[in-house]
Structure 1
Amino acid sequence: MTRRAPLAPHLSGSAFRVRDREFHGASRGRLVASDVQRPFTAVRSLGLHLDDVVDRCRAYEPLLRPGEAFSHATAAALFQLPLPEDPAAVHVLAPPGSARARGRGVTGHAASVAPPVVLREGLPIVAPAHAWCQLANELSVYDLVALGDAIVTGRRRGEVRAAALATIDALRDAAAQWGSRRGARVLADALPRIRVGAESRKESHLRLTIVDAGLPEPIPNPPVRLASGRVVHPDLAYPGRRIALEYLGDIHRTDRRRWQEDLRRRRDLAAAGWRVVEVTADDLEANRALFLAGVRALLARPGDA
């Protein structure tokens, strides 16, 4: 068996062009060995997790031309925003007047007007509000609202929320700059429906489903102080009526700690006199009419003013 020549230590966890011989110092033959990753044409990498969006973008980074940035669904994924599915290809935006990126595993876009670009994980990414506009032609109104909800809602740790990626005003400004380009009508439909507070894509879908059925709009994740002094946050609530709606997603089957925390919250709310409605994916799909009839009946019952 032929012994492989060792690769330079500085290559571990990096990506590089095959032609950059001075950087990698390896022969072309060595770069086709099975221990070397080939994420994109003319690029090699070592030790990157190519199923992870950050590492996939790091693998593409050697091919980025001046002024290019990661965009569309790739930008959303880099900002850890909710999408219906993870982007298979890397989306790259070229500056005005430049040719689109092309090649295996990349979807190139050409900008008519250069959007603002920020750095995250050292990568150039189209700013969140503008990435939201870019996805208007690809997402449903519900998913575009859910994306907007996530952008304007900082991640919560206990009672402390991190800063949001952007404000609703920033989304409004970005939509105005988008003008009449493709997706403008969807942006106009989604913008007034975005709310601060939603913490998952399905929570946003649930809120929109309730409102579109003609029911009062519930508040996403309001703080509820219990008699013990503990503060809990039901997914959606009608605080004046002490009604909470709790979405049961797949994470409750895979994350035992999260499941136990959510179960305790529901029990504490019920003990405090709240009526707790547990909601599943079927309630938003196959059993939607029955679920909405139940919420309507619950709201019609006498309760706390």
Structure 2
Amino acid sequence: MTRRAPLAPHLSGSAFRVRDTSFHGTTRSRLRASDLQRPFTAVRSVGLDLDDALGRCLAYEPLLRSGEAFSHATAAALLRLPLPRASSEVHVLAPPGTTRARGRGVVGHATSDSPPIEPHHGLPVVAPAYVWCQLANELSTYDLVALGDAIVTGPRRGEVRGPALASLGELREAAEQWGRRRGSATIAEALPRIRVGAESPKETHLRLVLVDAGLPEPVSNAPVRLAHDATVHPDLAYPERRIAFEYLGDIHRTDRRRWQEDLRRRRDLSAAGWHVVEVTADDLSWNREAFIAGVRALIGGLASA
């Protein structure tokens, strides 16, 4: 068996065009070997995680033309924003007056304006508020609200939230700039429903389900001070009624530590006199009527007590 020539150390974790011989310094036959990845036409990469959005974007970087940026679902994935479905394709936005990107595994987009571009991991990425508009034609109103909630809600560390990706004002400005393009009707419906505080799409969906059923709007992750001076943050709450909603997602089945922490929180809330309503995915879909009826009955029972 013929031994492969070793690759230069600087190629590890990189992507490059086949024609860039001054960079990779190897032969065409060596570039056909199975230890090199072939993420895109005429591109090779070494040791990148092509199952991850960042890895795919790094692999595409040698093909980026001046002014292009990662956009749509790819930008959302790079920003770790929640989408109902993952996309393995790379979405690339071309600057005005240029042709859109083409190729295997690539979705090219054209635009008549120049949206703001921000660096992320050293890559050009469309600004979060504008990404929200780009995805409006592909998402339901509930999912677009959830995406907006994630954009305007910074990560929480205890009682302190970090900076958000964008503000509500920036979303409004992006929506105005978007105008009457595709998705504008969904944008108009979703924008006034976005709130700061939701920490998962299902929390947003639950809030919208309650409001659309004619129930009061609950507060997302409101701080609740307990008797032993600890503070907990139920997913959603009616603080004046001492009702807390806790969504039980798959992470409670797969992450034992998270499950134990959430179980303690629910017990602490109950011990403090709160009514804890556990919510599952079924309650937001086929069991919705029964779930809403149960919440109404709880609120009515507390009002008459």
SS of the equivalent of 2:246 reads strand
Paired residue for 2:134?
A: 134
Measure the CA separation in 2 of the matches of 1:112 and 1:300. Answer: 54
Assess if the C-alpha contact under 8 Å between 2:51 and 2:88 holds in 1.
no
Matches within 5 A, 1:172-191: 172-191=172-191
Q: Distance in 1 between matches of 2:99 and 2:244?
A: 51
Match of 2:253 in 1: 253
- Match of 1:301, SS state, is helix
Give the SS at the match of 2:124: strand
CA RMSD of aligned residues (A): 1.1
Specify the code of the residue in structure 1 equivalent to 2:33.
A
Corresponding position of 1:124: 124
Aligned residue pair count: 305
Which residue is 1:293 aligned to?
A: 293
User: Using the alignment, how far apart are the partners of 2:80 and 2:66 within structure 1?
Assistant: 25
TM-score by length of 1: 0.98
By how many angstroms is 1:263 displaced?
A: 0.7
Give the secondary structure class of the aligned counterpart of 1:163: coil
The whole-number CA distance in structure 2 between the counterparts of 1:2 and 1:162 is 55
DSSP-derived class of the 2:28 partner: coil
2:154 matched to 1:162? Answer: no
Deviation at 1:242, TM superposition (A): 0.3
Matches within 5 A, 1:62-211: 62-211=62-211
1:38 maps to 38
Amino acid at match of 2:76: A
Question: Residues 254-293 of structure 1: matches in 2 within 5 Å?
Answer: 254-293=254-293
For the residues of structure 2 that align with 1:65 and 1:47, how far apart are their CA atoms? 23
Alpha-carbon offset, residue 74 of structure 1: 0.7
Distance 1:63 1:299 in 2: 58
Shift of 1:302: 2.2
1:213 Cα deviation (Å)? 0.7
Contact 1:74 1:91 in 2 (8 A): yes
- What's the counterpart of residue 14 of structure 2? 14
CA contact (8 A) 1:41 1:103 kept: yes
Distance 1:103 1:304, change over 3 A: farther
The C-alpha deviation readout for 1:6-45, integer Å capped at 9, x for no partner, is 0000000000000000000111111111110000111100
Segments ≥4 residues shifted beyond 2 Å: 302-305
Q: Secondary structure at the residue paired with 1:29?
A: helix
The alignment partner of 2:299 has SS state of helix
CA distance in 2, matches of 1:99, 1:294: 55
Contact between 2:245 and 2:277, CA under 8 Å: does it hold in 1?
yes
CA contact 1:240–1:304 (8 Å) conserved in 2: no
Task: Report the identity percentage.
Answer: 75
* 1:129-175 CA distance string (max 9 Å, x none): 00000001010000000000000000112222110011101100100
Distance 1:296 1:60 in 2: 52
Name stretches of at least 5 consecutive residues in structure 2 with no aligned partner: none
1:223-262 matches, within 5 Å, as 223-262=223-262
Runs (5+) with no aligned partner, structure 1: none
Whether the 8 Å contact between 2:17 and 2:43 is mirrored in structure 1 is: yes
Q: In structure 2, what residue type is equivalent to 1:97?
A: G
